């Protein structure tokens, strides 16, 4: 259970940081991320021989998490830009830099908790037998 929960919790965030950026100044291409995450999810569900109802439930979880994950990835780029601007100035504002870090960590923590909740929900959607091939695939993925 730990491995499937961990990988499902990380599926959206990993896709968001795995190079799914558009051609416009490195901005996130959410449609491309959505397609990539859906392909991975479909692959897992094919291995698990998931029913249409199970697929619908798991896709709903993905659809619920993806927009927030995309917003988090976009805000990360904005924070990086502001940090660079601060550090390029004559007098960087340490309080502002710390606030930026705290804000981003809090947002990431909140999203990570929602992702774990989604993974637990996904776990409960699959039978123990269905989780076996998915777990094997996740173990290969995690050992890369």
Token pair for residue 21?
């950026």
What is the C-alpha separation between 141 and 106, in angstroms, rounded? 27
Write down the pLDDT at residue 63: 96
Write down the pLDDT at residue 11: 52
What is the C-alpha separation between 83 and 78, in angstroms, rounded? 9
Within 8 A by CB and 6+ apart from 104, the residues are 75, 76, 79
Query: Which of 15, 26, 28, 133 has its CA nearest to residue 65?
Result: 15
Write down the pLDDT at residue 75: 92
**Site of tokens 């037998």:** 129
Q: Which residue has the higher pLDDT, 79 or 12?
A: 79
Number of residues written out for the chain: 144
pTM assigned to the model? 0.74
Token pair for residue 101?
């870090």
Q: What is the CA radius of gyration of the chain?
A: 18
Q: Output the CA torsion 113→119→121→125 (10° steps).
A: 180
The number of helices, as runs of H, and strands, as runs of E, in the chain is 5, 0
pLDDT band at 25 (very low <50, low <70, confident <90, very high): low
């Amino acid at each position: 259970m730990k491995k499937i929960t961990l990988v499902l919790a990380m599926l959206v965030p990993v896709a968001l940081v795995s190079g799914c950026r558009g051609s416009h100044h490195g901005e996130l291409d959410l449609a491309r991320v959505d397609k990539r995450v859906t392909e991975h999810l479909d692959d897992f569900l094919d291995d698990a021989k998931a029913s249409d109802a199970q697929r619908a439930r798991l896709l709903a979880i993905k659809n619920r998490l993806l927009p927030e994950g995309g917003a988090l990835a976009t805000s990360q780029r904005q924070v990086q830009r502001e940090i660079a601007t601060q550090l390029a100035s004559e007098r960087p504002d340490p309080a502002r830099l710390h606030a930026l870090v705290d804000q981003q960590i809090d947002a990431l923590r909140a999203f990570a908790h929602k992702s774990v909740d989604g993974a637990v929900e996904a776990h409960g959607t699959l039978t123990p037998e269905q989780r076996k091939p998915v777990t094997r695939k996740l173990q290969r993925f995690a050992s890369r």
